Amino acid sequence: MSQTCELIQEGKSKRVYATTDPETAVLYFKDEAMAFHGLKRGKILGKGEVNNAMCKTFFGLLSQHCIPNHYIHQLDARQSLIRRCTMIPIEVKVRNRVAGSLEQRTGLPGGTIMDPPVVEFNYKNEELDNPLINISHILAMHLAGREEMDYITDVALQINAIITGYMRDIGIELIDFKLEFGRFHDEILVADEISPDVARFWDARTHEPLDIDRFRRDLGDTEQAYQELLHRMMGIEEE
């Protein structure tokens, strides 16, 4: 088995380590939380273990639906082995309801259903605060090609449908989420993470958020919300 080597990169919620195999890496999920471009920082106890477990489930779902992704297998409670991709510096957001910045940008009331779902792109550049960009920007900046973006958009919408259906069965609504993609040889893979750190999940009955928004908005019970999500997901897997 590949052994963990030096730290390659550290972000808000994860560390990435090289392995002795140049084609793989290890993701380590942290408890640290950050919001508002680093102005708010804290810890959500147990978050790293929850996110690691959720990534195993979500990427497993993608594999079942033949969607290429970077996930290989879980190593322990906080670490997973992944394919080492060259990341495309674009964040892809799929929005099913109005929430967060979309409320300010559209003037629509929070919770308004977006039909069809909205797909947005942000340029991954912390110095520029990850600005919203469109396909024309992406092509002109040579971040990705037209065929690549058509594929990425199509896959993002497929993933939205897959996860929406899965979460509906456990009384959770997927409000919006962020995806990242990477190049691995001649393939484009879904990479990074799919977790309540990068997605909004609402209880379908109460509309209470069960995600990082509880930390952002000082709603309290953030650890319990993450655990509740995982508990419901594990309930499905045990059936």
Please report, rounded to a whole number, the percentage of residues in the chain having pLDDT higher than 90.
Answer: 90
pTM over 0.85: yes
CATH 3.30.470.20 in the chain: give the residue spans: 86-221
Architecture of domain 4-83: 2-Layer Sandwich (3.30)
Tens-place pLDDT, residues 158-191: 999 999 999 999 999 999 999 999 999 999 999 9
**Average pLDDT, integer, range 48-56:** 97
The pair of three-digit structure tokens given for residue 132, joined into one six-digit string: 């919203």
Per-residue pLDDT band for 36 (boundaries 50, 70, 90) equals confident
Choose which CATH entry (3.40.120.10, 3.30.70.520, 3.40.190.10, 3.30.470.20) describes domain 86-221: 3.30.470.20
Query: Dihedral through CA 106, CA 110, CA 111, CA 115, nearest 10?
Result: 0
pLDDT in tens, 86-104: 999 999 999 999 999 999 9
| Residues 6+ away with beta carbon under 8 Å from 90 | 121, 122, 123, 124, 133, 138, 143, 144, 152, 180, 181
Task: Give the number of other CB atoms < 10 A from CB of residue 44.
Answer: 22
Question: So what's the pLDDT on residue 12?
Answer: 87
Return the pLDDT at 35. 78
CA distances from 193 to 14, 59, 112, 151 (A): 9, 9, 26, 19
User: What pLDDT is stored for residue 97 in this prediction?
Assistant: 98
